[in-house]
Chain A
Amino acid sequence: GDSVTQMEGPVTLSEEAFLTINCTYTATGYPSLFWYVQYPGEGLQLLLKATKADDKGSNKGFEATYRKETTSFHLEKGSVQVSDSAVYFCALSDPFTGANSKLTFGKGITLSVRP
């Protein structure tokens, strides 16, 4: 079945460090790909998305490119801030219907940024 694999965490970085969080997926169709972020005590917020191969999603300094050849959607940020500390989830939509209402998530990774 469809699945998302995220790198093991947690990740601890110093402020202004470069961030990469790896995400690979397995899907039989053509899903859209997402990064969601969860701050403590809150629900998930959409960070960015890409709907087809070679699309780049970007938001708040974060970027991720939909790489079909490597089935990857790695999240990057050039300079992290303390406020970026949260749990990050990679997800894909239903690859057959394209519906974003049925998402498959990775396990999530906790990012801590120290001043």
Chain B
Amino acid sequence: KAGVTQTPRYLIKTRGQQVTLSCSPISGHRSVSWYQQTPGQGLQFLFEYFSETQRNKGNFPGRFSGRQFSNSRSEMNVSTLELGDSALYLCASSLLGGGQETQYFGPGTRLLVL
């Protein structure tokens, strides 16, 4: 079974631009979560999507948004990029996002904002 895939793997943008990252979950998984990883703040939860609906949200500004499609693939978008948005963005999938399930992480998209 293929793992979680994320595209692109690397991205360079400039301040003020916007960016869209994509995540394809493991086949059959309906819950997709996104995390931001930075050296200063560590790993922080952005949001979770389940059945095309945002089910949980972390403490990030509205510039960070996401969506999920009917095939469970998810995208996250960051508008008006700031230097501090440079990070590794990880997505994770699980069957239903429930308490006994394991989250499987993708390799991440590394975003550099210049």
Contact = CB atoms under 8 A, between A and B. Distances in A.
A55 B31 CA distance: 26
Given A41-B107, A45-B105, A98 B43 contact: no
A99 B56 contact: yes
Given A43-B4, A98-B99, A104 B105 contact: no
Contacts of B103: 46, 100-101, 103
Interface stretch (B14-22, B63-71, B90-98): B90-98
Interface in A78-105: 89, 91, 93-94, 97-105
Given A45-B105, A100-B94, A101-B94, A32 B45 contact: no
B75 interface: no
The contact size tier of chain A is 20 to 34
A100 B107 contact: no
Interface residues of B, number: 28
Contacts, number: 72
Given A43-B90, A43-B108, A100 B102 contact: yes
Interface of A: 32, 36, 41-46, 49, 51, 89, 91, 93-94, 97-108
Given A101-B48, A105-B44, 12 more contacts: A36-B105, A43-B107, A46-B104, A51-B99, A99-B48, A99-B56, A100-B102, A101-B31, A101-B92, A101-B94, A104-B45, A108-B43
